[in-house]
Structure 1
Amino acid sequence: MTDFFASYLGYEAGWFVATLIGILLIALPLMLAVAMIIYADRKIWAAMALRRGPNVVGPFGLLQSFADGLKVFLQETIIPTAANRGLFLMAPIITFTVALISWAVIPFGPDMVLANINVGLLYILAVSSLGVYGVIIAGWSSNSKYPFYSALRAAAQMVSYEVSIGFVLISVVLWAGTFNLQGIIDAQRGLYGFINGFGFNPLLFPMWVVFLISSMAETARTPFDLTEAESELVAGYQTEYSSMAFALFWLGEYANVLLMCALNAVLFWGGWLPPIDWAPLYAVPGILWLFAKIFFFFFVFSWVKATVPRYRYDQLMRLGWKIFLPLSLFWIFIVSGFLMLTRYGGHA
């Protein structure tokens, strides 16, 4: 795309236009997908509780998310008198922006990625860790004790599980030999000669289980939604927010959930590759395989939310620090030792 526009506008202007179009091609469908995935979430919960879910606004209730969006857009934005006005308004913007910019390095197909950088996985880790700032700023700037308690909980929770996720990703990087997400997907091709995906590898499957559970905790999904436990925190760090400021937190949360579903697919289940390394399956566009895997993992997230009761906070922290952290750290030694013996013949 850059070459096409560069032939008419020159390299700098052509690169700018091509990059801007690429950003819009990711951001606009993503925001539409967030709206529809909220509808899907509610439908899945309803089905599991033997209810009907959204079914009035639009055919099959498909326009319910847009009606909810219109409702919050028309509401008045109320800023508490004692709040820090600038930080109060900045917090939801940070949360939503960070949720979007992570998608810049996600490969949707063989050559369908906005920024195919060699340190794509490090970029994801760096950007996702910034999400805690939006939560902390929201809780502190509200000048209200319950949002502040929730923000402290959120900070501790997100940092705790980011550590485990980091060690899990080291195992993936060791096996793939690269931080580039396209390279990681290519390394998953033809496992045992016919399967695509690290998830089918007995040494990496336990790390996928840890990553899946940690990604639920990282995005504060049930059973780890202690950041908005209504029984003791009213509604969490966003208690004082209304109108579009609240909607940005809402959209950012679901964009992060979709990102974690995409990372599950990209890092462990072949990304845009078909599940089986069989030539006819490659006739299906890779982006459709990726979307199917993302939706499957989102269904798992919703399934867990509808069926698993919330953890206590001490259970949450014990799982992260006393189980996942030692396990993921020990597994690095297992994976690296196995690779040294098999791939490198025991020579450093």
Structure 2
Amino acid sequence: MVHAMAETLPARKTNEAISCLQAYWNPQRHGFCAWKMFPGNEDIYYDDNAHAAQALITAYEATHEQKYLQQAKTILTDLIMPSAQKDGGVPWHTNNQNCRNACSTGPAAVAALRICAIEEDHRLAAFAERALKWLIATLRDPQDGLIWDSLVFNADGSPNINKMKWTYNTGFAIHGFTLLYERSKNPDDLKVAVSLAEAALNPQNSMFDHTLQDPQKRMYSDSSFFLHHLVDGYRVLSKHALADRLRNEIRRIAAWGQEFMFDPSDGLYFRGSCPYSISEELRARFNQEFGVNKELSVNGQERDEHGNLCKTLIGCAAWARILHAAEEVN
């Protein structure tokens, strides 16, 4: 939410949002807790903090408040980077160093390179390059070119890869290698970013909903709060390569959200991207639009504890970022 507000609202609103965020700050660990800080709270996720660092960088860009940039750097240098010293991959949670996750490694690298674009920091740059190289060497599927979820070390030390593919993990890789190219001017870095984007754009891949027979009409089946990071990668890469394809895809995703995920009764957005998982009304609209007969498959995340449809901050913020990206590339 802070990230979306910093991109779209006046600086005063961003300052208010970050003020609320500070209630989660753990001054001993130099990171944000998953719940409000209290003495002894060690529930700290590396991926949450990588996202927080990104939001703080965007807040700095919007407000020019140096303290936001400094806090982002502190998260990276004091919390995240020490966890990646062994091989370059970043774990998921501070209580488990036996895994390396794309959802932590990717955004941390992106945040580090975004800071380097503002002020030179060779330590951050070296961390980001190592993290990104680890990501594609360890968690990239050689068959379809997408990024797997994580590497977990079993009790005997043997590696086990979770091969689930979420949109944001490939999005982070696209974003990261594009920023690496902007810094290095090495065409190989751009080549990696382009190949990742081409893999993600392929509607035959597992990130798309295959309900529709026409591949060109398919939409990603992921939650919006993952999808906006893929859009971010597309947006940044479109400045250097695949401009028309990427910008058209961003606009297509935004239009899908406006057509199916937007609720005109309250002006808010549902959190997913599959209309037939939300309500009978949206299922019927989807079926009529595409000439299919998909049954309702209720996604409990779109409903409250009483089974009533509801909206979430994370979903609305994600769609706000997607809409903002679509406006930016127009």
> What TM-score comes out, normalization by structure 2 length?
0.28
Q: Which has the higher contact order (CA 8 A, sep 6+)?
A: 1
- Looking at secondary structure, tell me which structure has more helix per residue: 1
Tell me which protein shows more strand as a share of its residues.
Answer: 2
Q: Which has the larger radius of gyration?
A: 1
- When normalised by structure 1's length, the TM-score is 0.27
